[in-house]
């Protein structure tokens, strides 16, 4: 899988987000797993993390007016 842009959101308010362009799959998996396993993370066994793919608002009506804007799929830390 090729990742174009990875954004890691901060755990506390007032801190900037971290983003990197074209990370390797290994580096992206490491950054995501560290972020999700942090003690202040809101994700755990009862509330799994989800990877979101968003469609730009300007493209929504052009592609399909009835389409969902956001699609979710479960994110697996192990692979």
pTM of the model: 0.47
8 CB burial (10 A radius; 0-12, 13-18, 19+): middle
- What is the rounded distance in angstroms from the CA atom of residue 2 to the CA atom of residue 76? 16
Q: What does residue 11 show for φ and ψ, rounded to 5 degrees?
A: -85, -20
Per-residue pLDDT in tens (0 to 9) along the chain, 79 residues: 678 888 887 777 777 888 888 888 888 888 888 777 776 666 655 665 666 556 666 666 665 555 554 555 666 666 5
List, in order, residues 6 or more apart from 64 with CB less than 8 Å away: none
19 Rama class: left (phi>0) / alpha (psi -120 to 50) / beta:
beta
């Amino acid at each position: 899988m090729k990742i174009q842009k990875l954004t890691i959101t901060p755990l506390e308010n007032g801190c900037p987000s971290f983003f990197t362009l074209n990370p390797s799959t290994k580096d992206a998996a490491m950054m995501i797993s560290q972020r999700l396993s942090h003690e202040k993370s809101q994700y755990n066994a009862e509330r799994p993390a989800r990877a979101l793919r968003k469609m730009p608002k300007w493209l929504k009506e052009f592609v399909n007016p009835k389409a969902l804007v956001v699609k979710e799929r479960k994110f697996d830390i192990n692979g």
